């Protein structure tokens, strides 16, 4: 059977990598292993997979007044958390036998390739899973924004979002009690 999509972008929240039942355990090896198995199945169908990963399991933006950390600085801290998650996912995928590349929007060449659009496309064409860390590389933007940006740049067929809520809402249902779930 032919796959429905040729190239996808998977947006994973950082929180989806942790086991909320185990206290502060930001990276659950069993969850990473399951993601790796699932992603491997998709690549074996011939689908090119790009991933933008969040960092909320390690660092979530804080209120500047409470923390004393200015917004831009906090956003950069969050970007570093996404790279840590990208490294963990990369490790899980490679353990499962999936070729990967980790690219970062912030230069850290000992850890990840710099994000270069054409290089990312070439990796996808060669069957490698490309993981994007550090969001857009700019403060004041979320990893959801990075996912939309990378999806456009890579001309993906679909963005699939794996998060810790059960659908798309008018606002974050964990923060806004009256948020409405949107249906088709």
pLDDT at residue 5, rounded to an integer: 95
pLDDT of residue 57: 87
Cβ-contact 14, 56 below 8 angstroms: yes
Blockwise average pLDDT, block size 10, the chain, 184 residues: 87 87 78 96 97 91 77 93 97 98 97 98 98 96 95 96 71 79 71
The confidence score (pLDDT) of residue 112 equals: 98
d(CA 150, CA 109): 20
| Whole-angstrom distance, CA of residue 130 vs CA of residue 107 | 16
Q: How far apart are CA 147 and CA 50, in angstroms?
A: 9
Whether pTM exceeds 0.75: yes
What does the DSSP 8-state code read for residue 182?
A: P
**CA atoms of 158 and 47, how far apart (whole Å):** 11
Structure confidence at residue 119 (pLDDT): 98
């Amino acid at each position: 059977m032919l796959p429905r999509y040729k190239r996808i972008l998977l947006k994973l929240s950082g929180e989806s990598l942790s086991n909320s039942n185990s206290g502060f355990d930001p990276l659950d090896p069993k969850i990473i292993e399951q993601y790796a198995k699932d992603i491997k199945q998709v690549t074996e169908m011939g689908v090119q997979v790009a991933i933008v990963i969040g960092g909320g399991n390690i660092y979530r933006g804080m209120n500047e007044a409470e923390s004393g950390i200015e917004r831009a600085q906090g956003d950069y801290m969050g970007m570093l958390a996404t790279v840590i998650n990208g490294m963990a996912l990369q490790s899980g995928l490679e353990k499962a036998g999936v070729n990967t590349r980790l690219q970062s929007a912030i230069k850290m060449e000992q850890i990840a390739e710099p994000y270069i659009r054409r290089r990312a496309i070439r990796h996808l064409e060669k069957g490698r899973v490309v993981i994007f860390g550090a969001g857009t590389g700019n403060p004041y933007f979320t990893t959801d924004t990075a996912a939309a940006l990378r999806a456009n740049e890579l001309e993906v067929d679909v963005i699939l979002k794996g998060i810790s809520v059960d659908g798309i809402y008018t606002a974050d249902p964990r923060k806004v009690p009256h948020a409405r779930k949107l249906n088709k």
